[in-house]
Amino acid sequence: MVRITYNLDFILSRLDNIDILVLRVIEGLMGKFEFVPIEFIESRVRFSSSSLSKALHKLLDFRLVSRRVGDYTGYGLTFKGLDTLAYHYLKSNGYVTMLGEKIGVGKEGEVFLGEAPSGEFIVVKFHRGGFSGFRRIRRFRSYSIDAQHSWLELAKLTGEREFRVLSDLYKIGCRVPKPIAWNRHAVVQEYIDGIDLYKVGSLDASIASKILDSIIEDIKIAYQKVRVVHGDLSEYNIMIVESSWDAYIIDWPQYAYRDDELAESLLRRDVEYILRFFKKKFGVRRDVESTIRIIKGEYS
């Protein structure tokens, strides 16, 4: 059983249907308001002022919303509130039964260990939109984001991006975590029982070469068959299963399509980072230009 460190299960046990409805209404109106005026919330939920006031106080107590007081009173969703809505959907639809300890955190989001109805471990990743992420994702043609999009929409778009590209990559045999479900900014994935590449100790050169070959092969498959470039590849987002030395590439939301104007430079950076790491850590040497040509299918 997972060890619980994030109290979303406790919060959901204390919320009722009215509380969830108020959260959803605030979420739906945040495309128009940073803080949704209370009269707009009242007009959407259509139940008594006392019931609404009770719900809002509960949501404030759990820090699922924040309040603005000034020329008008308004409420805005917090990341914890968005987490709660996404987790409520995933749990209600039978993808997750329990959320456990945090096992990863980075510029893209927070990653938690979870438990599936089968009792197996799974991973639940909550994307965290931010200005740096906004600038990265804005450049990709398939996701046109302008300055009117809030952190809320950015977080949802990054979650959708990762789930869709993982689905495409997994179908054609790339070693990536199997995508299970997605809602809003949350992506449920297969749990990989491995360690980050940068944590791997000394290796025999033949094993290190095998691992590098498999990484290059998956970059090649992604480039040629799914037509995408990871865009942020390093030893920090490759996981190694030590029992088999299989390598899994994780963290894909910042990918670029290979016909994007930045794809060439992103591919080169991905390759340079990985080859530099293997040379420094394991003494395995590969030529950058030759590796890029292999990935592009110019020669084997």
Decide: 262 and 139 in contact? Cβ < 8 Å. Answer: yes
Residues with a catalytic annotation lie at: 232
**Model confidence, pTM:** 0.88
Residue ranges of the chain that CATH labels 1.10.10.10: 8-80
Q: pLDDT grade, residue 131 (50/70/90)?
A: very low
Q: pLDDT grade, residue 70 (50/70/90)?
A: confident
User: Among 72, 116, 250, which Cα is nearest to 174's?
Assistant: 250
CATH 1.10.10.10 fits 8-80, yes or no: yes
Close Cβ partners of 108 (under 8 Å, ≥ 6 residues apart): 125, 127, 128, 133, 158, 251, 253, 254
Tell me the C-alpha to C-alpha distance, in Å, between residue 227 and each of 170, 182, 224, 238, 277.
14, 22, 5, 20, 25
Fold of 100-190: Phosphorylase Kinase; domain 1 (3.30.200)
Q: pLDDT grade, residue 6 (50/70/90)?
A: confident
- Per-residue pLDDT at 255: 95
Q: Could you tell me which CATH class the domain 195-296 is placed in? A: mainly alpha
Q: How far apart are CA 79 and CA 146, in angstroms?
A: 21
Q: How far apart are CA 183 and CA 172, in angstroms?
A: 23
Residue ranges of the chain that CATH labels 1.10.510.10: 195-296
- Strand segments, DSSP code E, in 52-147 are 65-68, 74-77, 98-105, 109-115, 121-127
- 97 has a pLDDT exceeding 70: yes
- Per-residue pLDDT at 3: 58
Decide: 145 and 157 in contact? Cβ < 8 Å. Answer: yes
> Which residues are paired to 228 by β-bridges?
257
Amino acid at 178: K
Residue ranges of the chain that CATH labels 3.30.200.20: 100-190
What is the phi/psi pair of residue 232, to 5°? -150, 40
Higher pLDDT pick, 1 / 210: 210
- 134 has a pLDDT exceeding 50: no
Decide: 140 and 257 in contact? Cβ < 8 Å. Answer: yes
Q: How far apart are CA 74 and CA 152, in angstroms?
A: 17
Highest mean pLDDT among 1-5, 77-81, 106-110: 77-81
What pLDDT, in 10s, does the model give residues 233-284?
999 999 999 999 999 999 999 999 999 999 999 999 999 999 999 999 999 9
Question: DSSP label at 197?
Answer: G
Higher pLDDT pick, 129 / 130: 129
